Structure 1
Amino acid sequence: MEEYDEPAAHRIGKKSYLIADVAPLDVDGIRTVMVGTALWAVAFVGLLPFYGRLADSGRTWWLWTCMAGFGLGLIGVEVCRRRAHRQER
Structure 2
Amino acid sequence: MSQQPRPDLEPIKTNDTATILVGTALWLVALVVLLVARPDESRWLWTCAAGIGLGLFGLAYIRHRDRR
Identity of aligned residues (%): 43
Report the count of equivalent residues: 65
Scaled by the length of structure 2, what TM-score is found?
A: 0.75
> As a proportion of its length, which structure holds more helix?
2
Alignment of 1:18-29 (within 5 A): 19=7, 24-27=11-14, 29=16
CA RMSD of superposed structures (Å):
2.1
Higher strand share: 1
In the TM superposition, what whole-angstrom CA distance separates every residue of 1:50-69 from its partner, at most 9, and x where no partner exists?
A: 11xx22xxx22101110111
Instruction: Give the counterpart of 1:47 among 24, 28, 34.
Output: 34
Question: TM-score, normalised to structure 1's length?
Answer: 0.60
Moved over 3 A (4+): none
Show the 5 A alignment for 1:1-89.
Answer: 9-10=4-5, 19=7, 24-27=11-14, 29-51=16-38, 54-55=39-40, 59-86=41-68
| Higher CA-based Rg | 1
